[in-house]
Chain A
Amino acid sequence: MIGVRRVVVTGLGAITPLGNTVATYWDGLKGGVSGLGPITLSATPEQLTQKVVAEIKDYDPLKHFEERELATLDRVSQIAVIAAREAIANSRLSFDMTLSVRTACIIGCGVGGMMTLDETYRRVYLEHKKRVFPLSIPRLMVNAPASQISMHCGIRGPTYVIASACASATHAIGTAFHMVRSGAVDCAVTGGSEACLTFGTIRGWEAMRVMAPEVCRPFSIGREGMMIGEGAAVLVLEPLERAQARGAEILGEIVGFGMSADAGDLTAPDVGGMSRAIEGALIDAGLKPQDIQYINAHGTGTTANDETETKALHQVFGEHAQKLAVSSTKSMVGHALGAAGALEMVATMMAISHGIAPPTIGYQGPDPACDLDYVPNKARAMTIEAAMSNSFAFGGLNAVLAAKKFS
């Protein structure tokens, strides 16, 4: 069983500030639509300095779950299950017992059930209630999104959450990719989920002093910072042979995964750490820098990230860096933190399969420190044979995936 297998993507699912399915998400991305908007999920938003975030819209939990089920599901798990259901339906897999025990569910999540935590704290500290909701603990535990996907979708193989802040989902997808490639499992349902747009979380991000007031314009002159968001995205991964044997539609191939740690500053990005993760993904994929056409950047919109990521791309790609199309879809969906890498990997797979690089919106002109082609404001039709998706987290944790068009 153990060997090196080709790993293909056969299902995608997403629920994002741009749309609650992959199709609507992709329509928004290629249309250059902004998913940012006023804060509605937080209690007392009028007390917040920040007025804009990227929330999922038109979402009614009762259209997806029964009331009884919702007692056990924080928003972060609800959206994880919704994205997983879409990805699994898209793959046309059914998890009989033979496949179920051989399928992994590896999900990235930064902070777990913050909505439940926030509600619970308000109740005990603000309202001085004596009791909290009985299922508060299993709702808010950080592994809940993976556990709930396993329970709702019938997945019985290795199942856990990876938490590495803004790189969580990329670490999760990369780990799942390696598990499928090695033969440790025969299928993986993998991605990320985050839903932490509570009063306390937004206050926390305000205190970091890194958020843009209204518009997120990564790599652009005049950028003012990042925009926090939420969302979930899931990919179904299978070995090529298995996918072909069952006649599955193959949406692309995951070929490489690189990881590194900066061992330096807690929050400041590091060219060396970023470069090593990008190079690691290329080496793992057996690709040369000039094989890559598109990069879905980490591109948070902060001064420090965008400059440092640009330097890292120069370092790894040399002269080829100028030929890359590099875009930040965070300009449209905000930074979904622990889910960001999954939203971005879905965007990358769609970009490869449709031959369209999604844009960086809000772009006003070049910053001298950011001198690459950032696909400003309008999507671009182009051949994408191979692409990468970057994620770089607080704590100096970096993860990068490489994917190819299937042929």
Chain B
Amino acid sequence: MSDIASDVIAIVTKKKRVDKPTVELSDRLEALGLESLDAVEMIFDLEEKFDIEIPFNANTNNPRTEFDTVGDVVNAIEKLVAKKKS
């Protein structure tokens, strides 16, 4: 597992609201019980951790569809981190 993936899992684990011992890349955010404010907080944590800006507007973006699974979040972060380095 990449460093980014384990960092994302650590952040999602803090926000999840269901009693599940481990978070997997295939887990759906909705199934982990993330509510809208949790998503906003998670995005803040991810931006802080990776020093990136994630374009996200709660009115027009739905984190549960755009980031369906934890793996989707990891892919998005990897792209933004790569863009920042280039």
Seen from chain A, the residues whose Cβ lies within 8 Å of a Cβ on chain B are 49, 207-213, 223-225, 265-268, 301-303
Q: Which residue of A lies closest to B55 (CB)?
A: A49
* Chain A residues within an 8 Å CB radius of B43: 209
Query: What is the bound-complex CA distance between A207 and B57, given in angstroms?
Result: 10
B40 interface hit (Cβ, 8 Å): yes
User: Size class of B's contact patch?
Assistant: 10 to 19
Q: 13 interchain pairs (CB within 8 A)? A: A49-B53, A208-B40, A209-B40, A209-B43, A209-B57, A210-B57, A210-B58, A210-B59, A211-B57, A225-B59, A265-B37, A302-B59, A303-B59
Report whether B59 and A223 are in contact in the complex, using a CB–CB cutoff of 8 Å.
yes
Q: Which residue of A lies closest to B54 (CB)?
A: A209
Closest 8 CB pairs of A and B: A225-B59, A209-B58, A303-B59, A209-B40, A224-B59, A224-B60, A210-B58, A302-B59
Query: What is the bound-complex CA distance between A302 and B59, given in angstroms?
Result: 6
* Chain B residues within an 8 Å CB radius of A301: 59
Query: Among the listed A49, A207, A303, which residue makes an inter-chain contact with B40, where contact means beta carbons less than 8 Å apart?
Result: A207
Q: Hey, what's the 0/1 contact readout for B3-46 against A, CB within 8 Å counting as 1?
A: 00000000000000000000000000000000011001001100
Query: What is the bound-complex CA distance between A266 and B37, given in angstroms?
Result: 9
Report whether B36 and A212 are in contact in the complex, using a CB–CB cutoff of 8 Å.
no
Q: Hey, what's the 0/1 contact readout for B44-86 against A, CB within 8 Å counting as 1?
A: 1000000001001111100000000000000000000000000
Q: Which residue of A lies closest to B36 (CB)?
A: A268
Least Cβ–Cβ distance between A222 and chain B, in angstroms = 9
* Chain B residues within an 8 Å CB radius of A210: 57-59
Decide if the interface of chain B is mainly helix, strand, loop or mixed.
loop
Report whether B53 and A209 are in contact in the complex, using a CB–CB cutoff of 8 Å.
no
Query: What is the bound-complex CA distance between A49 and B58, given in angstroms?
Result: 15
Least Cβ–Cβ distance between B6 and chain A, in angstroms = 25
* Chain B residues within an 8 Å CB radius of A265: 37
Report whether B59 and A267 are in contact in the complex, using a CB–CB cutoff of 8 Å.
no
Report whether A225 and B58 are in contact in the complex, using a CB–CB cutoff of 8 Å.
yes
| Contact A303 B44, CB 8 Å, known A49-B53, A267-B37, A268-B36 | no
* Chain B residues within an 8 Å CB radius of A211: 57
Query: What is the bound-complex CA distance between A265 and B40, given in angstroms?
Result: 15
* Chain B residues within an 8 Å CB radius of A212: 57, 59
* Chain B residues within an 8 Å CB radius of A209: 40, 43, 56-58
Query: What is the bound-complex CA distance between A355 and B9, given in angstroms?
Result: 58
Query: Among the listed B37, B44, B57, which residue makes an inter-chain contact with A224, where contact means beta carbons less than 8 Å apart?
Result: B57
Q: Which residue of B lies closest to A266 (CB)?
A: B37
Least Cβ–Cβ distance between A61 and chain B, in angstroms = 35
Q: Which residue of B lies closest to A208 (CB)?
A: B40
Query: What is the bound-complex CA distance between A225 and B37, given in angstroms?
Result: 16
Least Cβ–Cβ distance between B37 and chain A, in angstroms = 6
Query: What is the bound-complex CA distance between A49 and B36, given in angstroms?
Result: 21
* Chain B residues within an 8 Å CB radius of A213: 57
Knowing that A210-B58, A302-B58 touch, tell me 9 more A-B residue pairs with CB under 8 angstroms. Answer: A207-B44, A209-B58, A212-B57, A213-B57, A224-B60, A225-B57, A267-B36, A302-B59, A303-B60
Q: Which residue of B lies closest to A268 (CB)?
A: B36
Query: What is the bound-complex CA distance between A302 and B36, given in angstroms?
Result: 13
* Chain B residues within an 8 Å CB radius of A266: 37
* Chain A residues within an 8 Å CB radius of B36: 267-268
Q: Which residue of A lies closest to B39 (CB)?
A: A209
Q: Which residue of A lies closest to B58 (CB)?
A: A209
Report whether B58 and A303 are in contact in the complex, using a CB–CB cutoff of 8 Å.
yes
* Chain B residues within an 8 Å CB radius of A224: 57, 59-60
Query: What is the bound-complex CA distance between A213 and B56, given in angstroms?
Result: 11
* Chain A residues within an 8 Å CB radius of B59: 210, 212, 223-225, 301-303
* Chain B residues within an 8 Å CB radius of A223: 59
Query: What is the bound-complex CA distance between A280 and B81, given in angstroms?
Result: 52
Q: Which residue of B lies closest to A223 (CB)?
A: B59
Query: What is the bound-complex CA distance between A302 and B53, given in angstroms?
Result: 22
Q: Which of B36, B43, B56 has the most CB of A within 10 A?
A: B36
Q: Which residue of B lies closest to A49 (CB)?
A: B53
* Chain B residues within an 8 Å CB radius of A268: 36
Query: What is the bound-complex CA distance between A301 and B58, given in angstroms?
Result: 12
Least Cβ–Cβ distance between B16 and chain A, in angstroms = 18
Q: Which of B40, B56, B59 has the most CB of A within 10 A?
A: B59
* Chain A residues within an 8 Å CB radius of B58: 208-210, 225, 302-303
Query: What is the bound-complex CA distance between A207 and B60, given in angstroms?
Result: 15
